[in-house]
């Protein structure tokens, strides 16, 4: 999915705080970050589409399970963050990160 040395930058939010007063709703869901949106402008209504808000802990876990590394690059004030996803190096890497 990524070229050697490539990266994917993404942003997301942990929306778990929206369910703090109703934890039973989280138990009924597959994952609370899986949402469906539908846009509307005046009388024009678009098709509903899926959207994923993934918390950073879950992003890191899923990345790891699939041979990637998710690094949180920046965090915002409202449970939001910017992440960098790279291919996990299993042996010595040609493209080691430099600081």
Q: What pLDDT digit, counting tens, does each position of 23-69 carry?
A: 888 888 899 999 999 999 999 999 999 999 999 999 999 999 999 99
If 0-12 CB within 10 Å is exposed, 13-18 middle and 19+ buried, where does residue 87 land? Answer: buried
CB 87 within 8 A of CB 2: yes
* Contact yes or no for 22/16 (Cβ under 8 A): no
Q: Does residue 83 surpass a pLDDT of 90?
A: yes
Global pTM exceeds 0.85 = no
| Cβ count near 93 (within 10 Å) | 13
């Amino acid at each position: 999915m990524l070229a050697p040395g490539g990266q994917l930058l993404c942003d997301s939010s942990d929306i778990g705080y929206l369910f703090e007063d109703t934890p039973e709703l989280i138990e009924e869901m597959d994952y609370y970050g899986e949402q469906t949106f539908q846009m509307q402008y005046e009388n024009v209504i678009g098709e509903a589409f899926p959207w994923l808000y993934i918390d950073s802990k879950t992003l890191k876990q899923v990345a790891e399970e699939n041979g990637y590394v998710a690094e949180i690059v920046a965090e915002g004030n409202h449970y939001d963050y910017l992440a960098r996803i790279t291919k996990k190096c299993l042996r010595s890497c040609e493209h080691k990160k430099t600081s």
